[in-house]
Structure 1
Amino acid sequence: MSTKKPAAPMESPDPLDSRENQLLAIARHLFAQHGYDRTSLRDIAEAAKITKAALYYYFPNKDALYDRIVLESIQLLYDQVAAEVAKATGPTARVRAFMEASARIQDSGRDRWIAGSNAFWQTAVDGQRMAALKLRDSYEGLLRQCIVDGIAAGEMRAVDPAMAGRLLLSALNHMPRWHKPGGKLSAAQVMQQFLDMLLYGLVLEEPAPPPARRRKAAA
């Protein structure tokens, strides 16, 4: 008997989608629920109610699915986010555009986001892994450049752009662990609040140094 937990509802594919896209939606859902390594082609075929031979017609192996679910997803993410960043005026506005566009994409395709993330960190052949890393670096580099531009323009403090980018992306990437679709706030609305806190801080004014530091300064 299977020990897998009951699956959460799958994002409904467009009824006009091709059979191939419907199979991709099923594969993304299973990868999001159980992980890339723990989902077999047999699992996908059974969920789609087709034979493995029929599935092989569309995807001869898991490498082909990795290409479609990871590589295409990251490319789509980059293209959509870059388009929104290009519309924004000023570095801070571009950081907001990057993060809010990413959160909206997460909102509209939760299975795609989680499945792509799961598979990215799991098994892949060397060529696929390098292609995925290159796409990811382009996506993260876009955010880092916005921060570099913000520092150069005097809109942001002279922080480490790579570290600042990791902080912002951590807030985004961990959201699916706790945010529930259909809740009080969308992922994009949560990100707007996160950005207010991350960009402008929580503390109203610089706190006084601890007593030990004050005594040392006085000496």
Structure 2
Amino acid sequence: MVRKSRAGEILETFTRCVAERGYDAANFSDIAGELGLSKGTIVHHYGTKDRLLASAHESYLRRRLAEAALIRDRLATPTQQLAGLLYAFVLYQVVDREATVAFQREIVRLAGHEAMAEGRRLRADYLGLVRSVLADGVASGEFRPCDIEVQSLLIFGSAQWAWTWFDPDGPVSAEQVGAQLVDLVLGGLAVRRSRLSGLTAVDGKVASTVRQSIEDVSVMQSDS
């Protein structure tokens, strides 16, 4: 197994601290103490705490964009593609839990800080990908006409707060929650609701494609 770089260890530890306690309570002293290094080493790699958070956001969003692109490419229709993206939104609560919680609880910091400019661009790219799937669905007649901008924001909003209530060790799995999100969103968008049953199968093609895409990106990034 390839050992993480010092910068990678710092980023991973910081991300976990933010997930557990929030950005304001995460500090260089705790990270340095846990990793057995000086605060100067953290500053050497990242400069400021804002820059460290920006790096965490950027790393997170690049993973999500790579997975979303695979999901879109591997599923044939806009209906399947949107269902896949919806599953992924919930699966992130399990497969990349700490980074997801850290990102979601501090996403508001992307709004205006200069250090977060690249994170804002990446998030816009992700939002653009989802909107392109929605637009394709409307154009093909699979989705009823809708306000694509509002629909995409409603989808993101519903997924954004899952970290506050979803319990990975609870009685309902991420796949089951994902299936319910698919049913909720596509139940309102799909012209032919009869097709939903196949999309909400937790062991079906869509869910399996999402899991494989997430795994493939993880492997590609660990090998790079």
Both structures adopt the same fold (TM-score exceeding 0.5): yes
1:130 paired with 2:109, answer no
Alpha-carbon deviations, 1:58-99, whole Å to 9, x = none? 433224412420112111111111111111111111101112
1:195 paired with 2:191, answer no
Q: Which has the higher mean CA deviation after the structures are superposed, 163-172 or 50-59?
A: 50-59
Match of 2:33 in 1: 46
Instruction: Give, in angstroms, the shift of residue 19 of structure 1.
Output: 4.0
TM-score, normalized by length of structure 1?
0.75
Alignment CA distance shift 1:103-1:43 (3 Å)? same
Q: Which has the higher mean CA deviation after the structures are superposed, 149-158 or 64-73?
A: 64-73
Match of 1:95 in 2: 82
> Which of 1 and 2 has greater Rg?
1
**Whole-Å separation in 2 of the counterparts to 1:74 and 1:152:** 28
Aligned ranges 1:107-122 → 2 under 5 Å: 107-122=94-109
Alpha-carbon deviations, 1:5-25, whole Å to 9, x = none? xxxxxxxxx894344333322
SS at match of 1:76: helix
1:81 paired with 2:68, answer yes
Match of 2:22 in 1: 35
- Which of 172, 177, 180 is the aligned partner of 2:164? 177
AA aligned opposite 1:110: R
**Whole-Å separation in 1 of the counterparts to 2:11 and 2:139:** 43
Q: Which has the higher mean CA deviation after the structures are superposed, 29-38 or 148-157?
A: 29-38
Give unmatched runs, 5+ long, in structure 2: 189-224
Identity of aligned residues (%): 25
Contact 1:107 1:186 in 2 (8 A): no
Contact 1:107 1:188 in 2 (8 A): no
- Which of 133, 149, 152 is the aligned partner of 1:146? 133
Give the aligned length.
188
Match of 1:159 in 2: 146
Aligned ranges 1:9-28 → 2 under 5 Å: 16-28=3-15
Higher relative contact order (CA 8 A, sep 6+): 2
Alignment CA distance shift 1:156-1:123 (3 Å)? closer
Match of 2:56 in 1: 69
Alpha-carbon deviations, 1:138-189, whole Å to 9, x = none? 1011111111111111111111111111222222111111001122233233
Give unmatched runs, 5+ long, in structure 1: 1-13, 202-219
TM-score, normalized by length of structure 2?
0.73
Higher helix share: 2
AA aligned opposite 2:175: A
